[in-house]
Amino acid sequence: MTSRIARTLLGLVLLFSSWEPCMGTNGDYLPYKDPNKPINTRIMDLMNRMTLAEKIGQMTQLERKNMTADIVKDYAIGSLLSGGGSVTKSEATAREWIDMVNEFQRGALSSRLGIPMIYGIDAVHGHNNVYKATIFPHNVGLGATRDPKLVKKIGAATALETRATGIPYAFAPCVAVCRDPRWGRCYESYSEDPTIVKEMTEIIPGLQGDLPPHKTGIPYVGGKEKVAACAKHFVGDGGTTKGINENNTVADWHTLLSIHMPGYYHSIIKGVSTIMVSYSSLNGVKMHANYDLVTKFLKDRLRFRGFVISDWEGIDRITSPPHSNYTHSVLAGVQAGIDMIMVPMNYTEFIDTLTSLVKNNFIPMTRIDDAVRRILRVKFTLGLFENPLADYRLVKHVGSQAHRDLAREAVRKSLVLLKNGANADKPMLPLPKKASRILVAGSHANNLGYQCGGWTITWQGVDGNNVTQGTTILDAITEIVDPSTEVVYSENPTTEFVKSNNFTYSIVVVGELPYAETAGDSRNLTITQSGIDTMSNVCGNTKCIVVLISGRPVVIEPYLGNIDALVAAWLPGSEGQGVADVLFGDYEFSGKLPRTWFKTVDQLPMNVGDKHYDPLYPFGFGLTTTKVQDQIASR
């Protein structure tokens, strides 16, 4: 009898303790806080309680700079973000990131309805804003691997490191199909071929988790170690005229659907939570104002059920010059179907403008409710209402050895061997580890920032080795060769230096300097002049392997005659050992070109399948090598 009473009392205690988080300040039961209720029921209950101001607050995303927890509370702000390089402090630890995010979250939770905010960040090749995080190869390199399973693992590792800093939302992946390498964002694209881009959407279940059965197309995030993903930039951003960033894409309906849209079909099928709109225009219509594509096609026809987010000040750029008619921009952007507006700084202007447009019947409440419903669906799916505050249990995963090993594997598989000796009978690679003296040269051989590229620690990328944790290509070479081999490093050696030192062979690592977005637009696609000079001084005077660090194909044909072996290493990230692993034969070259390598820029744009296709190296090209044992070099 006593045990029966005890069990009954225990059951009542558990019942009431589970109800406590579902109670309001007045003791009333709040269905939207009840995790046992269906998501649609919770959304409906919460929206019925929300004022117009609270709904517009949910549609507003602010940059963390100059923000306070009180601002988040007072305006019921729905989201915050870190732009490229926006950190709580230089070299902040994962714990310090969590402290910062949680402080803002407590502001959101102290608002009238306690709706948690969602924090987003550009984790586009690993958690790249964060000091000591693992930096994976940029997407162009991953496209060269032709390995969707590997990319899925990278998504899972990126999600874990992002969550380890308290952040549940990543602005990735970029599913653009870059059709012109002059575009400054081309390295964010997996390939010029939409089939490869489509296959690489496998990163989404890596970031978010595998969709449960019978949930196809519904936004999904599978637990505290996963993040909400964002397919971007909808749509056609990789097809702009002359590759000019944010420019106009001219395309008929068939081209749009066959080239630029497949990545979005498959992202939606795999449950992507959000989609970001492109700065670019399509046939003269700004995508941020394109109702036909954002609402009628993406939402209505493709039945995308997550939320649509603008790019950074994207609605401002609907007008030219930007922000010249802000009321029109807000009206056009929201009416086009954008649900969350990235308003980094001028939040009161946006909130006041949108409020006025609704109150004066220029924007119907049905449009506001559609936006808020979608935002709340993602937040409920993320579990933010149950677990709004991040804890410290995942901090150990930032830059973990397991993730660095994965990145090293990705580097190995991304390398594309373009030339290997004068002919197949006399290959230059793989290199012998045992040699008397070898030269390592070039501006990119001993520069971690250069080998990571843009979107690393800062928006435009960085210079030097004291920016984050990783291994330079020089250090990797020094470590992998036989202890008896003398490694001589000279960034810009003279011809006389090369001739006088009797090197067994030389490795020249050169390429592009880091860049992002418009700053990377290039009409000539050349590497640095110092790189050209180094190739000239070294190659031809010794056996020479050139490793190119670049976000895209660059002009190389004029120099090929003096180069014995040529490797496209793209932007490999923090784990330079992956380059040495393959150069010295511990692993085979297996990467295939994700992009056509042109002869001259006058041929551009040129893509596989074009009528007049005359490349230096065709799409899909890539020589292979065989894994070998150490051998002694002959002179």
Residues with catalytic function:
311, 517
CB 41 within 8 A of CB 31: yes
Burial category of 442 from C-beta neighbours within 10 Å (exposed 0-12, middle 13-18, buried 19 and up): buried
CB 99 within 8 A of CB 77: no
Count the alpha carbons within 13 Å of 237 in the hemisphere toward its beta carbon: 28
d(CA 159, CA 206): 8
Q: In angstroms, what CA-CA distances link 564 with 261, 304, 422, 507?
A: 41, 51, 7, 10
List residues bridging with 80 in a β-sheet: 62, 119
Residue with tokens 């519904």: 218
CB 319 within 8 A of CB 328: yes
Smallest CA-to-CA distance from 140 within 472, 570, 442 is with 570
Cα 552–472–395 angle (5° rounding)? Answer: 95
List residues bridging with 570 in a β-sheet: 549
d(CA 125, CA 143): 13
d(CA 569, CA 428): 17
Smallest CA-to-CA distance from 152 within 452, 410, 400 is with 410
Q: Is the dihedral of CA 60, 340, 95, 399 positive or negative?
A: negative
Smallest CA-to-CA distance from 174 within 147, 153, 204 is with 204
CB 22 within 8 A of CB 34: yes
- The one-character DSSP state at 260 is I
- The one-character DSSP state at 437 is E
Give the tokens for residue 549: 């660090």
Label each residue of 156-205 as H, E or C: HHHHHHHHCCCCCEECCCECCCCCCCCCCCHHHCCCCCHHHHHHHCCHHH
Pairing, β 416-420 against β 565-570: antiparallel
How long a stretch of residues is the chain?
Answer: 635
For 569, residues 6+ apart whose C-beta sits below 8 A from its C-beta are 141, 411, 414, 415, 451, 509, 511, 547, 548, 549, 579
